[in-house]
Chain A
Amino acid sequence: MGDSRRHLLAVGDLAREDAERILDTARALERSLDREVKKLPTLRGRLVVNLFYESSTRTLSSFELAAKRLSADTMVLRAVGSSVDKGESLRDTALTLAAYDPDVIVIRHPHIGAPRLVAAATDARVVNAGDGKHQHPTQALLDLHTIRDALGRLEGVSVAIVGDVLHSRVARSLVEALVLVGAEPVLVAPPTLLPRGIEAIGAAVSHTVDVVADVDVVYVLRMQAERMEAAYVPSLREYTALYGITPDRVRPGQVVMHPGPMNRGVEIDARVADSGASLVTEQVRSGLVVRMAVLYDLLTAPGLHVAAVPELEVA
């Protein structure tokens, strides 16, 4: 109550106009990247802390560069080799950071709800850079930006999300974001890699890869070797045969996306990954401008539509 700070903890925090405003900002910022001097003075004097409890070269470097391009001061705290290793609780780490009065804390954590806990424990705006299998909202926004750039629209675009949905925060966030902007997601996976009841978040579900032929965008999820140990699939070989995105499964006019890092030859054939249909590099570039837009939006735009963080009982 009375908390006017805004956060980006989950796609569910965003109304459609919030998502569209951030995407429009990203498009405007994109133009600045074509200049010789790419730095903007917008967030000069602001402090952005990247608090990373999981290794993630891709997301961390994207947030670092986004903050730097907006002239913010940045600081990286990694869980490895820090007080976290000495058993410090997330709450205590957050309180320690709060002493530096950061404007934004970007957090990546292996467990759901960690960003919310940090939001409740500090006065900073908090951006969720991935919490467990729960949410990765900036990934979803950068994917929307990439699709809009490639196809010129979002409304009515059909997207097949293929692979390990069960363990994927990317899939969950992306489905919610696609539904938010009027696109049509369908999840494609063996039944063992689909959470029971996932239809409730608004996606169609298919157990066969055939449906990929009917969509505008083929979004490939990373398949991890350790999934075999718990018998989610019998072998990578069979997974690739049934669900791998090979050239014969991509028709002309379709685009292919992947959040990275890719396992070439497993979920995606190298020929597809390197083809003109692949938007993988565009996704990385979108990541930078979308994260710039998110930081800009949280610190400067009037936040009439973004929900304040709900009160959490942490006393």
Chain B
Amino acid sequence: MLSSRNGRADSLTLRAHVLDPVSGLDGPAAVTVEEGVVTAVESVAAAPEGLLLAPAFVDPHVHLRVPGREDEETIASGTAAAAAGGYCAIVAMPNTDPVVDTAPVLQALVESAREEAVIPTGFTAAISKGQRGQELTEMAELARAGAIAFTDDGRPVASAGLMRRALAYSAVADRPLALHCEEPTLSQGGQMHEGEVAAALGLAGWPSVAESLMVERDLALAAYEGRPVHLQHLSARESVAAVRRARHAGVRVSAEASPHHLCATDELVRTLDANVKMNPPLRTEDDRRALVDGLLDGTIDCIATDHAPHARHEKDVPFEEAPFGVTGLETAFAALNTFLVRTREVPLATVLERLSAGPARALGLPVPAIAVGEPANLVLLDLGAEWTVREDGFRSRSANSWLLGRTLVGAVVKTVAAGRVVFAA
């Protein structure tokens, strides 16, 4: 299901404080990798100051823009960016041009990934043909061709009837649905979170209830059909509460939050910088805290970047004319470390689990773990390193980061994905 270009497996030894929420390791150790496989994990008396070794990250939500917008991102550039961000696997969204809604389009992507992908890469396919919300895609054939999940991300499924059929039929494909929850008649024309900041600026609101209402609908349908659902990029307090209730009631639900929704609020929109325009929008401090609480208690089990590259000329326009979306692969860990871990809002181990094992489990991918016999999927982090986010510092083809100009703490030193060193600072 995951594809990447061929290459020789590496052998190396890394000495650091090892923190792996999956295997339970938490202490200084030397990890030996031989031909891509972990062959020894040995406790040592001391490790270099500030260096931390953890299972590499898995991003369930990336826009690689291929096919159609190769000027914004390619499989090669997007996976290089992911490697630099500490990722050992990513999953790409199907809202491309053309949409990934037939097996030949998906197969072409898988073949490209075998040529270009620096790290293992998976692809999703659309729920509806053309993401038009009318007819289902051939899910069984798409699943055989390698679809990790089905999603109409970017174009929410407006019809409850179609969503119900999609949930029922996804059993045939045996893949989860990943849902972008947005009630389009409530969010229509919305530019930012509906609230005090939008009122002051005169920007049309995209209200929280447009998300939470759709979350409630989709959870009710998932419960009715007895099918698992994965909810993408949650942003509102009410959505987190709905997921928590549904899970207690036995619904199989996993949920994402993005670094920007976990770290920032709609106050940033006062700058009118188009690089803080995303869908769903940044919300209030109250919503942000609810997301953090969800992350802490596991209601939110995945951190997903929703990496959305855009050409500079498309963002260098008045706010309302700019497209939604920000990049995130290369800044995710540093942002979370700076705004959540160092402020003691969230323990480092929780952030690491939600960046790696959480998303892997949610989408049925191999769970990265630091243990003898496991393939090496490792990220070496310098927790104290300070760096400033700069437009010319990205591997991604696009630089529409909400963090441009900010100084962050925490840097990726080395990434090992599927047994190969894919990034070294």
Chain A residues, Cβ within 8 Å of B320? 111-113, 132
Chain A residues, Cβ within 8 Å of B405? 313
Q: Any chain B CB within 8 A of the CB of A233?
A: no
A169, A197, A198 pick with most chain B CB within 10 angstroms: A197
Q: Which A residue sits closest to B272, measured CB to CB?
A: A113
Interface residues on A, range: 20 to 34
B205, B207, B318, B391 pick with most chain A CB within 10 angstroms: B318
- A313 and B275 contact, Cβ closer than 8 Å, known pairs A111-B320, A112-B320: yes
Contact with A along B312-334 (1 / 0, CB 8 A): 11001111110000000000000
Q: Any chain B CB within 8 A of the CB of A7?
A: no
Contact with B along A272-315 (1 / 0, CB 8 A): 00000000000000000000000000000000000000101111
B271 and A117 contacting across the interface, CB-CB below 8 Å? no
For window 106-151 of chain A, which residues contact chain B by CB distance below 8 Å?
109, 111-114, 116-117, 131-135
Assembled-state Cα–Cα distance A42/B370 (Å): 76
A198 and B317 contacting across the interface, CB-CB below 8 Å? no
Q: Any chain A CB within 8 A of the CB of B196?
A: yes
B202 and A133 contacting across the interface, CB-CB below 8 Å? yes
B202, B207, B313, B321 pick with most chain A CB within 10 angstroms: B202
B203 and A90 contacting across the interface, CB-CB below 8 Å? no
B317 and A195 contacting across the interface, CB-CB below 8 Å? no
Q: Any chain B CB within 8 A of the CB of A235?
A: no
- A195 and B199 contact, Cβ closer than 8 Å, known pairs A91-B317, A111-B319, A117-B318: yes
- A197 and B196 contact, Cβ closer than 8 Å, known pairs A89-B313, A313-B275: yes
Q: Any chain B CB within 8 A of the CB of A201?
A: yes
Of the candidates B196, B203, B313, which one forms a contact with A133 in the assembled complex, judged by CB atoms under 8 Å apart? B203
Assembled-state Cα–Cα distance A310/B405 (Å): 14
Q: Which B residue sits closest to A169, measured CB to CB?
A: B202
A90 and B318 contacting across the interface, CB-CB below 8 Å? yes
B199 and A113 contacting across the interface, CB-CB below 8 Å? no
Q: Any chain A CB within 8 A of the CB of B380?
A: no
Assembled-state Cα–Cα distance A201/B391 (Å): 35
Of the candidates B202, B275, B316, which one forms a contact with A91 in the assembled complex, judged by CB atoms under 8 Å apart? B316
Q: Any chain A CB within 8 A of the CB of B201?
A: yes
Q: Which B residue sits closest to A120, measured CB to CB?
A: B316
CB distance from B316 to the nearest CB of A (A): 5
Q: Any chain A CB within 8 A of the CB of B195?
A: yes
Assembled-state Cα–Cα distance A111/B198 (Å): 14
B272 and A200 contacting across the interface, CB-CB below 8 Å? no
CB distance from A178 to the nearest CB of B (A): 15
Of the candidates A112, A131, A310, A315, which one forms a contact with B312 in the assembled complex, judged by CB atoms under 8 Å apart? A315
Of the candidates A89, A90, A132, A310, which one forms a contact with B202 in the assembled complex, judged by CB atoms under 8 Å apart? A132
Assembled-state Cα–Cα distance A196/B190 (Å): 13
B271 and A312 contacting across the interface, CB-CB below 8 Å? yes
B203 and A112 contacting across the interface, CB-CB below 8 Å? yes
Chain A residues, Cβ within 8 Å of B272? 112-113, 116, 312
Chain B residues, Cβ within 8 Å of A131? 318
Of the candidates B194, B316, B404, which one forms a contact with A196 in the assembled complex, judged by CB atoms under 8 Å apart? B194
Of the candidates B195, B202, B404, which one forms a contact with A134 in the assembled complex, judged by CB atoms under 8 Å apart? B202
Q: Any chain B CB within 8 A of the CB of A172?
A: yes
Of the candidates B200, B205, B275, which one forms a contact with A200 in the assembled complex, judged by CB atoms under 8 Å apart? B200
Assembled-state Cα–Cα distance A39/B195 (Å): 47
B199 and A315 contacting across the interface, CB-CB below 8 Å? no
Assembled-state Cα–Cα distance A120/B269 (Å): 17
Assembled-state Cα–Cα distance A197/B202 (Å): 11
Contact with A along B259-296 (1 / 0, CB 8 A): 00000000000011101000000000000000000000
Chain B residues, Cβ within 8 Å of A315? 312, 316, 391
A172 and B200 contacting across the interface, CB-CB below 8 Å? yes
Chain A residues, Cβ within 8 Å of B391? 315
B318 and A111 contacting across the interface, CB-CB below 8 Å? yes
Chain B residues, Cβ within 8 Å of A169? 202
Q: Which A residue sits closest to B207, measured CB to CB?
A: A196
Chain B residues, Cβ within 8 Å of A195? 194, 198-199, 202, 205
For window 168-210 of chain B, which residues contact chain A by CB distance below 8 Å?
194-205, 207
For window 212-257 of chain A, which residues contact chain B by CB distance below 8 Å?
none
Q: Which A residue sits closest to B273, measured CB to CB?
A: A313
Of the candidates B195, B199, B207, B312, which one forms a contact with A201 in the assembled complex, judged by CB atoms under 8 Å apart? B199
Assembled-state Cα–Cα distance A313/B272 (Å): 10
Contact with A along B210-246 (1 / 0, CB 8 A): 0000000000000000000000000000000000000
Chain A residues, Cβ within 8 Å of B317? 89-91, 117
Assembled-state Cα–Cα distance A117/B315 (Å): 12
Chain B residues, Cβ within 8 Å of A113? 272, 318-320
CB distance from A77 to the nearest CB of B (A): 17
Q: Which A residue sits closest to B275, measured CB to CB?
A: A313
Assembled-state Cα–Cα distance A176/B95 (Å): 42
CB distance from B408 to the nearest CB of A (A): 16
Assembled-state Cα–Cα distance A312/B404 (Å): 11
Q: Which A residue sits closest to B321, measured CB to CB?
A: A111
A–B complex contacts, Cβ < 8 Å, 8 sampled: A89-B313, A91-B317, A112-B202, A112-B318, A112-B319, A132-B203, A134-B202, A196-B195
**Chain B residues close to A by CB (< 8 Å):** 194-205, 207, 271-273, 275, 312-313, 316-321, 391, 404-405
Known contacts A112-B319, A132-B202, then 10 further A-B pairs from the complex at CB < 8 Å, ordered by chain A residue: A89-B313, A111-B320, A113-B272, A133-B203, A195-B202, A196-B195, A197-B195, A313-B271, A313-B273, A313-B404
